[in-house]
Structures are given as C-alpha cells and as structure tokens.
A and B are shown apart, each in its own frame.
Chain A
Amino acid sequence: MSKRPLIIAFFIIITAYLGNGIYDSKMKLKEGFFLDHNYEMTVEGGFFFELYFVDNYSTENPVVRIELPELEYMNSFTHAQHHGQYGKQSMYSFTFDSSRYGSEFWESLIGKEINEVTVYYAGGKSSILPIGSIRFLEHDSLYHEAILNENSPFQFNYSSSSNGAGVQAVDAQEALTLSAGKPGQAIPSIPSFCYKLRVDHATPNSKRPREYMNTACNEPSFPFHLEQGDRLVLEYSFSNQAEEDEVILYNFQLHLEGTRENGDPLRYPFAHIRSVIPSAESIKSLIKQKRSEAS
C-alpha cells in the first residue's frame, strides 16, 4: 500500500494545527488586566465589593485567587469565580466580604486607598497588577451605631440587582412605625434615583392593605405600620454613570426614621451596595484594544 496518502494526510493535519496555533497566539493577551474600578465606599456595618479580572481562558493554569497586600486581614477571602467567557478570554470576579470582621477592622480602613493586587495562578506564578482605585470614606456615625446595635429592628432577608436596578428586603423583628424615609448618602452622587417601599404582611388575614407603595420620585406617603414578621421591601432604580471600561460601586442609603415598639426613636439605614460592570460588547472591545496595545 502506498505511503503517499499517509504523508499527505500528515502534511494537511500539521499545517492545520500550525495555522490555527499561530492565529490562537495572536488572539491571546500578553497579560491579564483588571477593569478600571472606581470604588468609593463607607464601611457602615460592613461592606462588600467585587473586582473583575480579564485573562486568557485556561484550564491548565487558571487564576485561583488574588490578594490585597494593603488589607492583610482579607487575604484569604479572594478565591476566583468564573464570571463570563469572551472568545479566548475569561472574566473572573473576586468578592471581598467584610462580614466576618469586627468593627475595629472597619474603622482601620477609613482613609485607606487600594490601587493594586497580587494575582496568583494555579501553576504558582503571581503578578502585581493595577485595579484602579478603592477608597474607604468617613461614615455617618449615627447610622453606623444604629447598624451595629445588636437589638436591630430589622433582619436582612434577601437582595438582588441588575445594572441600574435592584431590590432588597428586611423582616421586622418587632412591631414598629416608620414615619419618614429620606434618601441618605449616595456614593457617587446619582442624578436619578427612584425607589419604592413595600410592606408584605406576614399575617394573611390582616384587613389592612397588603402593600404600601411609595415612590421618592413622587410623593411619599408615610407612616407605615409593621407588625413583627412583616417584610419591608425596597425596590430602586438609578442612572448608571460608568464609562465603557469602568466599574463603579454604587452605595445607596435610605434613612428610615420612626418609633420602635417600646417608644424609642428608630433610625435605620436601608443600605445597598452594587457594582455595575461594563457590557459584554464593551469588554470585548477592551480586550481588542489591549491586544493591539501589546503588539
């Protein structure tokens, strides 16, 4: 049997691999990069934030974790989560959650700024990369104390959000009356922020209206009366001001005021933190730009 077909087949196969291999290497990034994070946050009652990192997709040598050298307490809370796939690149997200630290730690962060992180890969390699800017701001001590109070009138239940909108719910721990709700500190300042407050009653036989609807964009209609177990739901929307390659962390607060069951005044910051990331198209064009800068 002739060897010629075998030799031709070998030639075709190796040519296909070489050609595709060259194309593959041209489509890869020389080095991964973080999106440009522009985070300013207060640390009332804790905080959380996410960092987003784009790198070449790899099953052999993926990113496993990052460290913030300037925040030594948080080094072990930064495992990589696969966030999305953009052609030959992947985006990882890293969540920093302060919920397990004491108030001394939060206090120590005020005035601090973080600009770079160390990225660790499965193969043991590491590199220090810029992330933009994370600044921890002075907080409103009145509401800080309200949140740290162990005898809190509300217990967190759930929250969810998408770009530009979100919902958060808390359960009343006692009977109380809300007399006012004022938009508090919003970082960064947002030209358009609308919210609705709704009360879902725990008692199905209640003759009271099931929902109170209030919208800050219109006229609010306080007071709200809540029984123990009633659920207070905040729905909000806001205008996203981030640039195409930028991640902004939005901190919202709705300062609730009223009276507790024992007659004491109630102050509670209904707070929400959410980062808005660029669209898939923006990330793809950013990858293209980084590739052309490197070549």
Chain B
Amino acid sequence: MKPALKRIAWGYVFMLLDFRINSFDLLPDWLGLLFIAYGCAKAAEVSGVKEFWTAQKAAALYFLYTIIAFFIQMNYSASPIIQAGERPEYNVTMLLVLIGQLIHLLLVYGLCSSIHAYAIKQEQPGLQNSASARWKVYLAFTTLYLVYLAFLPNIEANYTMAIVLIALAGFILEFFILLLIVTAVKLPYHKIPPYTDEPSS
C-alpha cells in the first residue's frame, strides 16, 4: 500500500511545484497526474477502498484537460492561468481556468474521500477527521475563490494584491492536502480482509 500512496504523494508534489528552466517545466503537471492516477489504481486494488477509483478517474480527467489546454494554448492566445495584474475577461482563458479548477476540486475530493475511507478501514480516527476537515476547508476556499473570480471581469477595482493573496492561500491549502497524503503514507498498513455476509465457521 505504501508504494501506491507514495506515488500519489510524489504526483501531488509534481502538480504543486513549478520549476522551470527557460520555460521548460522540470516537474510537469501531466506527469504528476499520471503518478496520481497510477498510484490511486494500485491503492484501490491493494486496499479495496473504492473511493481511490474516483480519485483515479479525476486524475485521468485532469490529465486529459492539461493536454487539451496545452494544445489550446499553443494554437490560440489563451492560457489556463490568469496572470496577476492582467484584467480578467470572459474568454477562452477564463473558461480554461474554470474547467481546470473544477476538475482540480474533483481530484482533491477524490483524494480526501479516499484517505477518509482508508482511515476508517485502518481504524485511524485522527486521519479520518483530518481528511474530512481539510476537505471542508479546501472546498469552502475554492468555492469562494471561484465565485470571486466570476465577478472579477465585471468589477472595476485593483485586484492584483487580492489575486496574489488568494494564490498564496491556495498554495498553503494545497500543501496541507499534500501533508494529508504524506500522513497516510506514514501509517502502518494492516491488511484487512474484505467484509462478507457469510458466517465464519
């Protein structure tokens, strides 16, 4: 189980961090998403926690999105990132950002619910509560952020500082999700047989 969870953690690190040399991304998101998808599939097989399959599908969908967004970026002057200081508009960039954020939210839900179910199975109430609490905070923050982003093109204000602060807060929250996965990696794994209705003899 540990190798599968480690892959998920490494995948999340790839997705979270952005090291570039001459615009070449040393830790590409698509590679991180492949790690997560593969790790989730293995974790689902080994642990029998079906929520890992949800996370695996979300990672696969996110992978597909990064590829499509890359091609859109190459062929149009659109980008899946809103630059600080640039006035947001309702255009392809905004649509890409929205779709990307919704899929990302789905992925975080998949990972948190997987770790939550895994913690129940492993009888780890601390991890279970932590997964539940971090998901709630993450969901509330992302919802507020995306609603704020929806209003941005229609309000005339200096929002550069707000965008920078939101990006910083978002990064800290992502880091806490990563810590949750790392905590799950560190737990001693106890193989629990699948539950059946047949009476034991």
> Does chain A have a CB within 8 A of B197?
no
**In the assembled complex, which residues on chain B have CB atoms less than 8 Å from the CB atom of A6?**
105-106, 109, 139
Given A1-B113, A9-B142 in contact, is the A59-B151 Cβ separation under 8 Å?
Answer: no
Give the segment of B84-92, B164-172, B180-188 that binds chain A: B84-92
> Does chain B have a CB within 8 A of A87?
yes
> Does chain A have a CB within 8 A of B136?
yes
Count B-side interface residues using an 8 Å CB cutoff.
Answer: 33
The answer to whether A23 and B89 touch across the interface, beta carbons within 8 angstroms, is no
> Does chain A have a CB within 8 A of B16?
no
Q: Nearest Cβ distance between residue A12 and chain B, in whole angstroms?
A: 6
The answer to whether A13 and B77 touch across the interface, beta carbons within 8 angstroms, is no
The answer to whether B89 and A16 touch across the interface, beta carbons within 8 angstroms, is no
| Bound-state Cα–Cα, A87 to B153, Å | 10
The answer to whether B139 and A24 touch across the interface, beta carbons within 8 angstroms, is no
Given A20-B150, A24-B90, A87-B156 in contact, is the A1-B105 Cβ separation under 8 Å?
Answer: no
The answer to whether A60 and B78 touch across the interface, beta carbons within 8 angstroms, is yes
**In the assembled complex, which residues on chain B have CB atoms less than 8 Å from the CB atom of A57?**
87, 89
The answer to whether B150 and A13 touch across the interface, beta carbons within 8 angstroms, is yes
From B77, B143, B150, B156, contact of A60 by CB (8 A): B77
| Bound-state Cα–Cα, A256 to B76, Å | 57
Of residues B78, B146, B156, which shows the largest number of chain A Cβ atoms within 10 Å of its Cβ?
B146
**In the assembled complex, which residues on chain B have CB atoms less than 8 Å from the CB atom of A73?**
none
Q: Size band of the A side of the interface? A: 20 to 34
| Bound-state Cα–Cα, A58 to B143, Å | 26
> Does chain A have a CB within 8 A of B135?
yes
**In the assembled complex, which residues on chain B have CB atoms less than 8 Å from the CB atom of A102?**
none
> Does chain B have a CB within 8 A of A10?
yes
Q: Nearest Cβ distance between residue A122 and chain B, in whole angstroms?
A: 7
> Does chain B have a CB within 8 A of A265?
no
Q: Nearest Cβ distance between residue A60 and chain B, in whole angstroms?
A: 5
Given A13-B147, A17-B98, A20-B153 in contact, is the A60-B139 Cβ separation under 8 Å?
Answer: no
A-B contact pairs, 10 of them (CB 8 A): A1-B113, A6-B106, A6-B139, A13-B143, A13-B147, A17-B146, A19-B150, A20-B153, A20-B154, A60-B93
> Which residues on B are within 8 Å of A, measured CB to CB?
76-78, 86-87, 89-93, 98, 102, 105-106, 109, 112-113, 116-117, 131-132, 135-136, 139, 142-143, 146-147, 150-151, 153-154, 156
> Which residues on A are within 8 Å of B, measured CB to CB?
1, 3, 5-6, 9-10, 12-13, 16-17, 19-21, 23-25, 27, 57-61, 87-88, 122
